[in-house]
Amino acid sequence: MKNHVEWFKFHLRNGQSIGPSALRALWADACGTLDISVSRNVQTLGPHTTTVYSLHGSPRLQNLAMVENRLRGLLEQSKLVGSLTVIRH
């Protein structure tokens, strides 16, 4: 898993959060493989704290547009509202 690259990052709004197991399951479902990893980083900007979630996988991940659409749909189904950014194209 040390060869993984970051594909997406996102943060959630309104104090929402997702645990590592649920995040791994969501990401695995979106990209169709268990060869994945996830991380999170808590950032403090003045009085505000936000958590940035990162989704990592094989550098040979196929059909990124489909994976992104699935990921967006799964986040919506989970009632998670936030901002998703594609890191690699």
pTM: 0.88
The confidence band for 1, taking pLDDT boundaries of 50, 70 and 90, is low
Cα separation, 53 vs 38, in Å, equals: 7
Between 67 and 89, the more confident residue is 67
The confidence band for 21, taking pLDDT boundaries of 50, 70 and 90, is very high
